[in-house]
Amino acid sequence: MIDSQRIAALADAPVPPQKHLIGGREQAARDAAELEVLSPRNGTLLTTVADGCAADVDDAVRAARQSFESGAWANRAPAERKKILMRIAELIDEHAYELAVLGVRDNGTEISMALKAEPGSAAATFRYYGEAVDKIGGEVAPTGPANIGLVLRQPVGVVGCIVPWNFPMMIGAWKIAPALAVGNSVVVKPSETASLSLLRLAQLALEAGLPDGVLNVVTGKGAVVGEALGLHDDVDIIAFTGSGFVGRKLLGYSAHSNLKHVYLELGGKSPNIVFADAPDMDKAASAAVNGIFRNSGQVCVAGSRLLVERSIHRDFVARVRQRTEQLRVGDPLDAATDVGAINSEEQLAKNLQFVRIASEGGAECVSGGERILQESGGYYMSPAIFDNVASDMQIAREEVFGPVLSVMPFDDEDEAIRIANATDYGLAAGVWTANLSRAHRMLQRVRSGVVHVNCYGGTDITVPLGGMKQSGNGYDKSLHALDKYTALKTGWIAL
């Protein structure tokens, strides 16, 4: 049960100007520059954050390197690191409402989703990797009697994390927690339109006993702070979540600096495929609606392409449309809101441009697609459904990252696979069928990092999230994520 009184008490609390967190202390940008933070709820000035520059990134990387070399964290007994990660999780839980409301005022996600997905997931993530700390180790290779081959697993050193605005704490924690668990020091660059909750989370980590300099946060513009981090010669790896456009830049920065490893969690154009033998059409329709419209479609795994077998197409679209038109779009801090605000005016304009081009290109808009609630000063849009979208249309190919659904009918399983895979992306998919053999065939043939069967979007920290094709490389979540943050070293000992 959501506590609306607690939300109301926090909704308009003043937020002081925010600075970087470097070496355990707050630090203004070297050139004293600040960025205004506008709330997507109502377009008003929420606060300012430090508008970082390359010199600030240098300071943060130096602090991270010094803390790493000092061994204050990396050389601590795993059981002690575990205690601190578990304490961070506790503090996140204790401050869940404060963190969630601050995050929503900054990024616009509806509070019902933010409470679960942001502090809820972040705490679970710190707990999961905290519990893993003293249960993972190296190996002794089966080399024969003349030698011993040791495979040591060591922290990589300084990890740069660059995260987007849709779920800053959850995605931040997916990178920060496993990186810290194995002893690295970290520099985080949050999105310029969603920095506040991650800054607060980092302060809580200090309060939990994380040594100074082990977790640093530098705020500011991607093209300045993100670029400086990507180009820095003393950063050992970059763990990034965001667009393919920036992902490509990061690969370039690596090539032009120290060849650091770059791990990319990128976008998607995920197909949600409904066969005529789906076991429960109502459940499938509700999941299709939630799968694209929660958090205004600003979800990497959003089911933005709805593939429907032709024999049920008309009926199924009617069900989806009816549910969509019942969604309450509005103030993200209202617990009854289903769909909150678009993150920024710029993103709203981008979404509306997609809608305009689709309509002009002949796609059939059967619902929504307009700016609404403009009198609030906030950035709101009615969820849009386009029917009979052709595979070559822009809304079938490009990630909108907004509340726009493209419906595409198909005739048989082979055609469903062909349409599903006709994309540069490969992040997520859904399949609805009561036919077990077909479910397994689809699982094998759809090229994406996750395939949901008779559900859409369920997940857990225990399973990896990663993309195929241009949806990225590497994995967040699960024990597999630890591979990014550790280097294997061989010890070869002659006996």
Active site residue 131: no
Site residues (CB under 6 A) for ligand NAD, limited to 265-294: 265-268
Any contact of residue 249 with ligand NAD (CB under 6 A)? yes
Any contact of residue 191 with ligand NAD (CB under 6 A)? yes
Q: Least distance (Å) from ligand NAD to the CB of residue 267? A: 3
Tokens 């967040």 belong to which residue? 476
Any contact of residue 401 with ligand NAD (CB under 6 A)? yes
State the DSSP string of 123-170. Answer: HHHHHHHHHHGGG---EEE---TTEEEEEEEEE-SEEEEE--SSSHHH
State the DSSP string of 51-62. Answer: ---HHHHHHHHH
Any contact of residue 192 with ligand NAD (CB under 6 A)? yes
Q: Least distance (Å) from ligand NAD to the CB of residue 247? A: 7
Query: Which of 91, 236, 245 has its CA nearest to residue 155?
Result: 236
Nearer to ligand NAD, 191 or 433 (CB): 191
For residues 371 to 400, the per-residue mask of contacts with ligand NAD, x marking binding by CB under 6 A and - elsewhere, is ----------------------------x-
Nearer to ligand NAD, 162 or 204 (CB): 162
59, 106, 227, 334: which one contacts ligand NAD (CB under 6 A)?
A: 227
Q: What is the DSSP letter of 449?
A: S
Any contact of residue 351 with ligand NAD (CB under 6 A)? no
Nearer to ligand NAD, 22 or 224 (CB): 224
Displacement of CA 376 from its chain's centroid (Å): 28
Q: Where are the alpha helices (DSSP H) in 280-344?
A: 281-293, 310-326
Binding window for ligand NAD (CB under 6 A); candidates: 72-80, 262-270, 388-396, 412-420: 262-270
Q: Across the chain, how many H-helices and E-strands are there?
A: 16, 21
Distance CA 297, CA 238 (A): 26
Distance CA 380, CA 95 (A): 28
For residues 57 to 96, the per-residue mask of contacts with ligand NAD, x marking binding by CB under 6 A and - elsewhere, is ----------------------------------------
Burial class of residue 64 (count of CB atoms within 10 Å of its CB; 0-12, 13-18, 19+): buried
Any contact of residue 230 with ligand NAD (CB under 6 A)? yes
173, 198, 465, 482: which one contacts ligand NAD (CB under 6 A)?
A: 465
Active site residue 300: yes
364: Cβ–Cβ under 8 A, 6 or more apart, which residues?
386, 387, 388
Q: Least distance (Å) from ligand NAD to the CB of residue 266? A: 5
Q: Least distance (Å) from ligand NAD to the CB of residue 193? A: 7
Distance CA 462, CA 160 (A): 23
233: Cβ–Cβ under 8 A, 6 or more apart, which residues?
257, 258
Token digits for 248? 């490509």
For residues 404 to 433, the per-residue mask of contacts with ligand NAD, x marking binding by CB under 6 A and - elsewhere, is -----------------------x------
Q: Which of 110, 118, 265, 309 is catalytic?
A: 265
Any contact of residue 243 with ligand NAD (CB under 6 A)? yes
Residue 328: helix, strand or coil by DSSP?
coil
Nearer to ligand NAD, 49 or 91 (CB): 49
- The H or E element containing residue 492 is strand 486-494
Displacement of CA 159 from its chain's centroid (Å): 17
Any contact of residue 18 with ligand NAD (CB under 6 A)? no
Nearer to ligand NAD, 369 or 449 (CB): 449
Nearer to ligand NAD, 115 or 450 (CB): 450
Tokens 């430090």 belong to which residue? 50
Q: Least distance (Å) from ligand NAD to the CB of residue 418? A: 23
Please name every residue paired with 186 in a beta bridge, in sequence order, or none if there are none. 159, 215
Size of the site for ligand NAD (CB under 6 A): 31
Residues with active-site annotation: 265, 300
Q: Which residues contribute to the site for ligand NAD (CB under 6 A)?
A: 162-166, 171, 189, 191-192, 222-223, 226-227, 230, 241-243, 246, 249-250, 265-268, 300, 399, 401, 427, 465, 467, 472
